[in-house]
């Protein structure tokens, strides 16, 4: 079986997992090393006191009258000394150099354990047993040879934090989790970072931004391959969309030539044969077809590579000039157009498409409204909402959803006789959808049509 390399995702997860486990184990081992219950050097003040006690005992045992003390007499003498020195908080112990306890013989469990790790009087130690602190050994000279002195005293201080951890499995587990959490968070961040890049790139494509991201081809090998494939897909989409839009533009452009020849032939026939209902109908239909092709050409010009021309815009710069032109046009038609103050709301998108989308709705309102057109801009929860109301004849309730279909015209004042091609609102709906927005038609409180557009603001 081949060992996973660090360039692969599962190799990195494997390495980081074992590194985290190693750090946790080392931390726990160090905690045990810092346990005050292990043998440690005696603090200087306490060491001085114990050395003074040992020296005092030495003097008492080595007075001239004690030079020929027998072994039994020595044990009795030591018992008297320990009784004199001992109290509820401090106790003095004596042992032979071999570790045999001389005095006292009771309550020496901690002493017996301590003797096994502390038997060098040149380097005395101390160790905590519960609340009992043992210290020693200290050399005592007696007429019969050398013995060791040990000290035991009650630990009055608070229980050390390390002991609290080591004595309670739950706290030890908690410390282990706290130590490992930063490494595991780093592991989660390192593993999910390429995935987040891929997610953000997919969201940009969903918003109409068909741009390749070189950062997708970095990181673990699996994400490099996925990022390269994603960038290839984006490139293929760019080519396909651009080709489709150019095809539409070319077809519309090519249709104009025979259409122009048809209108010239109709004009020659009218001049030669005079006016007739048939020739007039042919010329009217040709004119409508020419207008329709003109709108298709305009749409294709706006959409060619429009997905690659997105910019960060502000609402005032984007629509102010168009709104002022629309107000002037409404005044020429003896109508009133009102809109509230625009602010610098940020929007990501294609400026030509966004201007054309709103302009189509406003010019429809000017054309079909009686004398009042109201436009309202509001922002709520990172959404820009635009409502356009007029007081015209409106649209039948059953046809409100159909007016955004290409070439659809309603059977009222907004019909074939008005000269429309049915593409204006379809262009608007397409442009709004490309910018992740929505458009909806309703009956207006003014009596005409209400069109509501929502667009997401740039973050």
Question: Catalytic residues, which ones?
Answer: 253
In whole angstroms, give the CA distance from residue 203 to residue 80. 89
**Cα angle, residue 192 at apex, residues 186 and 198 outer, rounded to 5°:** 150
Bridge partners for 443 per DSSP: 449
In whole angstroms, give the CA distance from residue 277 to residue 48. 129
**What region does 208 belong to: left with phi over 0, alpha with psi -120 to 50, or beta?**
left
Contacts of residue 139, Cβ cutoff 8 Å, sequence gap at least 6: 54, 121, 146, 148, 149
Q: DSSP states of 336-388 as a string?
A: EEEEPPP---EEEE-HHHHHHHHHHHHHHHHHH-SSEEEEEEEEETTEEEEEE
In whole angstroms, give the CA distance from residue 435 to residue 272. 53
In whole angstroms, give the CA distance from residue 458 to residue 35. 57
DSSP class of 5: P
Cβ atoms of residues 135 and 42 within 8 Å? yes
In whole angstroms, give the CA distance from residue 172 to residue 169. 5
Q: Where do runs of H (alpha helix) occur along 100-168?
A: 109-115, 161-167
Q: DSSP states of 51-89 as a string?
A: HHHHHHHHHHHTSGGGTT--HHHHHHHHHHHHHHH--SS
* Element holding 182 (H helix, E strand): helix 169-206
Cβ atoms of residues 36 and 117 within 8 Å? no
Cβ atoms of residues 62 and 142 within 8 Å? yes
Contacts of residue 130, Cβ cutoff 8 Å, sequence gap at least 6: 155
- Collapsing DSSP to helix, strand or coil, 311 comes out as strand
Bridge partners for 378 per DSSP: 385
Contacts of residue 114, Cβ cutoff 8 Å, sequence gap at least 6: 127, 129, 134, 136, 150
Hey, what's the torsion of the CAs at 224, 228, 233, 236, to 10 degrees? 170
In whole angstroms, give the CA distance from residue 232 to residue 217. 11
């Amino acid at each position: 079986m081949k060992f996973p390399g660090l360039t692969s995702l599962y190799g990195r997860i494997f390495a980081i997992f074992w590194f985290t486990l190693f750090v946790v184990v080392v931390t726990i081992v160090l905690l045990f090393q810092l346990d005050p219950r292990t043998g440690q050097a005696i603090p200087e003040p306490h060491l001085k006191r114990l050395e003074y006690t040992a020296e005092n005992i030495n003097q008492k045992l080595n007075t001239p009258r004690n030079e020929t003390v027998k072994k039994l007499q020595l044990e009795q003498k030591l018992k008297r000394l320990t009784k004199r020195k001992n109290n509820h908080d401090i106790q003095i112990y004596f042992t032979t150099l071999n570790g045999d306890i001389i005095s006292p013989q009771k309550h020496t469990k901690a002493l017996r354990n301590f003797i096994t790790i502390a038997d060098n009087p040149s380097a005395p130690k101390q160790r905590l047993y519960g609340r009992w602190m043992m210290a020693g050994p200290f050399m005592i000279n007696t007429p019969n040879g050398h013995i060791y002195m040990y000290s035991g005293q009650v630990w009055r201080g608070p229980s050390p934090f390390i002991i609290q951890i080591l004595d309670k499995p739950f706290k030890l587990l908690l410390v282990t989790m706290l130590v490992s959490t930063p490494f595991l968070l780093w592991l989660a961040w390192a593993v999910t970072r390429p995935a987040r890049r891929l997610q953000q790139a997919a969201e940009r494509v969903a918003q109409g931004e068909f741009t390749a991201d070189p950062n997708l081809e970095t990181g673990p090998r699996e994400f490099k391959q996925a990022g390269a494939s994603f960038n290839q897909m984006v490139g293929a989409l760019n080519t396909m969309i651009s080709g489709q839009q150019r095809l539409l533009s070319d077809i519309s452009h090519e249709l104009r030539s025979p259409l122009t020849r048809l209108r010239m032939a109709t004009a020659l026939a009218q001049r030669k044969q005079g006016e007739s209902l048939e020739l007039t109908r042919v010329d009217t239909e040709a004119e409508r077809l020419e207008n329709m092709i003109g709108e298709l050409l305009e749409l294709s010009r706006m959409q060619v590579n429009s997905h690659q021309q997105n910019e960060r815009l502000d609402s005032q710069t984007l629509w102010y000039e168009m709104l002022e032109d629309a107000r002037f046009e409404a005044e020429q038609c003896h109508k009133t157009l009102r809109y509230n103050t625009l602010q610098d709301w940020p929007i990501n998108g294609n400026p030509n498409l966004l201007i054309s989308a709103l302009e189509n709705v406003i010019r429809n309102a000017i054309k079909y409204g009686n004398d009042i057109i109201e436009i309202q801009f509001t922002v709520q929860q990172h959404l820009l909402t635009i409502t356009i109301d007029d007081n015209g004849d409106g649209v039948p309730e059953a046809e409100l959803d159909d007016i955004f279909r290409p070439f659809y015209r309603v059977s009222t004042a907004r019909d074939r006789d008005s000269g429309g091609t049915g593409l204006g609102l379809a262009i608007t709906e397409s442009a709004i959808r490309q910018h992740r927005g929505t458009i909806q038609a309703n009956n207006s409180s003014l009596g005409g049509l209400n069109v509501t557009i929502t667009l997401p603001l740039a973050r």
